[in-house]
Amino acid sequence: MTTALITGSSGFLGKNIVKYLPYDQIFTSSRTNSDVNADLTLEVPLIPNVDVVVHCAGKAHSVPKTEKEKQAFHDVNVIGTSNLLKGIENDVILQAFVFISTVAVYGKEIGSLITEDAPLLASDPYGRSKIEAEKIVRDWCVKHNVICTILRLPLIAGPNPPGNLKSMINGIKKGYYFNIAGGKARKSIVLAEDVAKIIPIAAKIGGIYNLTDQYHPNFSELSQVMAQQLGRSRPVNIPMWMAILMAKAGDLMGSKAPINSSKLSKITSDLTFDDSKAQKLLGWKPNTLLKEFKIQ
């Protein structure tokens, strides 16, 4: 019988992990309505003895505008992780700790098939907090002789996804989403269900892994799939010259502009990650997002 604790169980990925993780008994942890109710930023939780801990709790999907908002990333992702580890130090049967991290640690906005060996150059509060949390987890696992697994994830897809995918879906619903210069830029994405299903294998082996769907769809392909499911027409495409003019106007408007030169560069550039290490060591064979993604 294998037991596990899932933190962040009320979040998007946490819910999917609880749903699809094939362990015999799963304990949940969140701020409310879970087996272990705790605010990890403020307290050390009382953790039951389990074989595996999967740490999904974290802060993402927002751009901080104030120092308080920047500090929140450190409080949740660093202090929260430290308090969780303190809470399980006396767990005599813990065998493995799985930390859900992010490809944001690489600090890249442009690149193709970036590997786990790439330097961790994140300078934003989110990426920096995840780099620090990864180190805390690795050091703790070495000290306590626990198998350490770190999964660095790109955009995560599944029913009712958060973040950029949610914004894209809402834009298509309301008719204001458009592709730029054919929407040819490719981005790495992974299905939440696939992440959940690889955890038992990864937890036994340990290591640091990028996970993607291995196809890396472009915006045109992804928006077409979304539009079909929503019963909307195919999103409009605007030429690059028009997008450049809009971006320059956005530069003058400031941070509230829907598009500026920096955002345009991100939207029209590939950003993909290599998961061949996971394929080789974990037998990672994910579903292709464009075939399996369901909005609801």
What are the pLDDT tens digits along the chain (296 aa)?
A: 899 999 999 999 999 999 999 899 999 999 999 999 999 999 999 999 999 999 999 998 777 778 888 899 999 999 999 999 999 987 889 999 999 999 999 999 999 999 999 999 999 999 999 999 999 999 999 999 999 999 999 999 999 898 889 989 999 999 989 999 999 999 999 999 999 999 999 999 999 999 999 999 999 999 999 999 999 998 999 999 998 998 899 888 876 777 888 888 888 999 999 999 999 999 999 999 999 999 87
Domain ranges of the chain: 3-161+189-216+272-292
Q: CA nearest 187: which of 119, 112, 244, 78?
A: 112
- For 63, 174, 279, the CA distances from 259, given in Å and listed in that order, are 15, 18, 37
> pTM here?
0.94
> What pLDDT does 286 receive?
97
> What pLDDT does 92 receive?
81
> What pLDDT does 67 receive?
83
Nearest-5° angle of CA 117, CA 193, CA 120?
A: 20
Distance CA 25, CA 28 (A): 10
Pull the structure tokens for residue 199: 């955890």
What is the CATH number that goes with domain 3-161+189-216+272-292? Answer: 3.40.50.720
* Burial state string for 71-85 with b = 16 or more CB within 10 A and e = fewer than 16: ebbbbbbbbbbbbbb
Pull the structure tokens for residue 277: 């290490």
Per the listing, tokens 């009382």 go with: 46
Nearest-5° angle of CA 111, CA 13, CA 224?
A: 60
Count of residues for the chain?
296
DSSP annotation string for 141-185: HHHHT-EEEEEEE-EEESSS--HHHHHHHHHHHHT--EEETTS--
